[in-house]
Amino acid sequence: MLLRKLSLVNFKNIRSASAEFSAGINCLVGGNGAGKTNILDAIYYLSMCKSALAMTDRQNLCHGEPFFVIEGAYDSDAGRHFDIVCSYAQQGGKKVKNGSKEYDRIADHVGLIPVVIVSPADAFLVSDAAEERRRYLNAFISQLDRDYLQTVMRYNAVLGERNRLLKELSGPTQEEILSVLDQQLIAHGEKIHARRAAFIDRLRPLTAAYYRTLSDDREQVELLYRSDLNDKPFEEVLKASFERDRINQFTTAGVHRDDLSMRIGGRALRKYGSQGQQKSFLIALKLAQYAVVADTAAEKPILLLDDLFDKLDTERVERLIGLVGGDDFGQIFISDCNPHRLQSILEKNGSRYALFRVEAGHVEPNP
């Protein structure tokens, strides 16, 4: 997928800007606070209909403005052209349009313009609770499988009812309704587990391989899927945990407790990985995600590398550029606050690239 042209109005610190990008590597350089991350986030927004930075739409409004508009013109690998407009107004809310047609359900747009982002904000995937990793997994799979997100929402709805029931009722009535709810929970839960297991199976070897390249074979990492459903069918899991559920008054086992385990040299990455190693792991994971999306959607995603040098040493950045400059990758956006070090690595690698200067919310191509 190729983003030919991006236009922004009132998106964070960018009051009005537009830029035409090239295939291959696009570098955005500029000082701290210039607006580089905001531009990458706008590109992400056009694909996912939300910010990559846990921002509400209202927080994305340029201070004091009543609306923002993000517009992108794309050419797909399959030769199709898309004009996508995402807008948000304090009055009127969010709208997403593909050409002249507005989506009835915004979720239907997700997946059309595949995107993968690597950003300093990813650090929470290592440091935070399992919920964040499930959220990541859900966003990743829902770009490829529209059904999946629906199933997750249905699962959560049934789970909510089940938890209410455990709190509010007891005795035979409780058991009767529970048996109906459990059938639904099991059906949705098994489906979610199967999808997650299948995608993580594909991510695992790719993540390990990309990490080996990034670290020059210095370290070994592992990505594992942790789920109550890995060893037993959900029905048995629910039976086994029923007493505990009743005492706790909520559902203590199921795919809502799934987690991704990240390990380095056989140990927990969160505890034993250095910051650069954690960052390298996240990059390897995202590149693996890229490969899986490219393969499944038959469309190379747009790759956003925000703040490329964040926590990485120069050798790792060079190996990363060597990787993403290769034929397996399509259009890439890289941001860095130092123009010279990025340029020198790109020159050294022999990569072709276009350079853009970002300053106080404006983007200018570098002649």
Ligand X SMILES: Nc1ncnc2c1ncn2[C@@H]1O[C@H](COP(=O)(O)OP(=O)(O)OP(=O)(O)O)[C@@H](O)[C@H]1O
Contact between 51 and Mg ion by CB under 5 A: the answer reads no
Provide, rounded to whole angstroms, the least separation between the CB of residue 310 and Mg ion: 9
Among 7, 37, 119, 331, binds Mg ion (CB under 5 A): 37
Contact between 13 and ligand X by CB under 6 A: the answer reads yes
Provide, rounded to whole angstroms, the least separation between the CB of residue 305 and Mg ion: 11
Letters for 301-320 (x = contact with ligand X by CB under 6 A, - = none) are ------x-------------
Q: Which of the stretches 31-39, 99-107, 162-170, 254-262 binds ligand X when contact is defined by CB under 6 A?
A: 31-39
Provide, rounded to whole angstroms, the least separation between the CB of residue 120 and ligand X: 8
Select 10 or 37, whichever has its Cβ closest to Mg ion: 37
Helix axes 234-248, 171-214, angle to 10 degrees: 120
Q: Which two tokens stand for residue 69?
A: 């508009």
User: With CB cut-offs between 5 and 8 Å by kind, which of Mg ion, ligand X, none does residue 105 bind?
Assistant: none
Q: Which of the stretches 29-37, 78-86, 172-180, 182-190 binds Mg ion when contact is defined by CB under 5 A?
A: 29-37
Select 32 or 91, whichever has its Cβ closest to ligand X: 32
Provide, rounded to whole angstroms, the least separation between the CB of residue 121 and ligand X: 10
Contact between 119 and Mg ion by CB under 5 A: the answer reads no
Long-range pairs, 205-213, Cβ under 8 A, ≥24: 206/284, 206/287, 206/288, 206/291, 206/292, 207/281, 207/284, 207/285, 207/287, 207/288, 208/284, 210/283, 210/284, 210/287, 210/288, 210/323, 211/280, 211/281, 211/284, 213/319, 213/323
Gap between the terminal Cα atoms of the chain: 25
Provide, rounded to whole angstroms, the least separation between the CB of residue 362 and Mg ion: 16
> Angle at Cα 311 formed by Cα 307 and Cα 316, nearest 5°?
90
Q: Which of the stretches 19-27, 29-37, 124-132, 209-217 binds ligand X when contact is defined by CB under 6 A?
A: 29-37
> Angle at Cα 32 formed by Cα 27 and Cα 38, nearest 5°?
60
Letters for 269-298 (x = contact with ligand X by CB under 6 A, - = none) are ------------------------------
What is the Cα–Cα distance from 87 to 81, expressed in whole angstroms?
20
Select 185 or 334, whichever has its Cβ closest to Mg ion: 334
Select 63 or 340, whichever has its Cβ closest to ligand X: 63
The strand ranges marked E within 66-113 are 67-75, 81-89, 93-98, 101-102
* Per-residue b or e along 58-70, where b marks 16 or more CB atoms closer than 10 Å to that residue's CB: eebbbeeeeebbb
Contact between 62 and ligand X by CB under 6 A: the answer reads yes
Cβ within 8 Å of residue 66, ≥6 positions away? 89, 90, 91
Cβ–Cβ under 8 Å, residues 95 and 282: no
Contact between 330 and ligand X by CB under 6 A: the answer reads no
Q: Which two tokens stand for residue 62?
A: 């340029």
Contact between 36 and ligand X by CB under 6 A: the answer reads yes
What is the Cα–Cα distance from 121 to 53, expressed in whole angstroms?
7
Select 58 or 271, whichever has its Cβ closest to ligand X: 58
What does the binding site for ligand X look like in residue numbers (CB under 6 A)? 12-13, 30, 32-38, 59, 61-63, 307, 337, 358
What does the binding site for Mg ion look like in residue numbers (CB under 5 A)? 37
